[in-house]
Amino acid sequence: METLESLSDALETTGDIQSIVRTMKALSSVSIRQYEQAEAAMASYAHTVELGLIAVLRQHRAAGLPLPGAGGGNGREALIVIGSDRGLCGGYNDKITRFALSKMGDQPMVLGVIGTRAAARLEAVERPADKVHSLPGSVEGLSRLVQTMIVDVDRWTREEGVGQVWLAHNRREGRNPAKPQAHRLLPLPDSYLRKLAQAEWPGRSLPLFRMDPEQLMSWLVQQRLFVVIYRALAEALASEHASRLAAMHAAERNIEERRDDLRQRYRLRRQETITRELLDVVSGFEAVSAVD
In a domain, 180, yes or no: yes
Q: What is the pLDDT of residue 220?
A: 93
| Residue 44's CATH number | 3.40.1380.10
In a domain, 275, yes or no: no
**Whether pLDDT at 72 is above 60:** no
Q: How many domains does the chain have?
A: 1
What is the pTM (predicted TM-score) of this model? 0.85
In a domain, 285, yes or no: no
Residue 291's pLDDT band, with cuts at 50, 70 and 90, is low
Task: Encode pLDDT of 97-122 as tens digits.
Answer: 999 999 999 888 999 999 999 999 99
**Whether pLDDT at 71 is above 60:** no
In a domain, 291, yes or no: no
In a domain, 188, yes or no: yes
Exposed e or buried b per residue across 197-230, where buried means at least 16 C-beta atoms within 10 angstroms of its C-beta:
beeeeeeeeeeeeeeebeebbeebbebbbbbbbb
Q: Look up residue 93 and give its DSSP letter.
A: H
In a domain, 59, yes or no: yes
Stronger pLDDT, 75 or 140, i.e. the higher one: 140
Q: What is the pLDDT of residue 33?
A: 94
Task: Encode pLDDT of 243-271 as tens digits.
Answer: 999 999 999 999 999 999 999 988 888 88
Residue range(s) defining the domain that contains residue 48:
27-247
In a domain, 266, yes or no: no
C-alpha to C-alpha distances, 98 to 95, 127, 169, nearest whole angstrom? 5, 12, 11
**Whether pLDDT at 70 is above 60:** no
In a domain, 112, yes or no: yes
Q: What is the pLDDT of residue 222?
A: 92
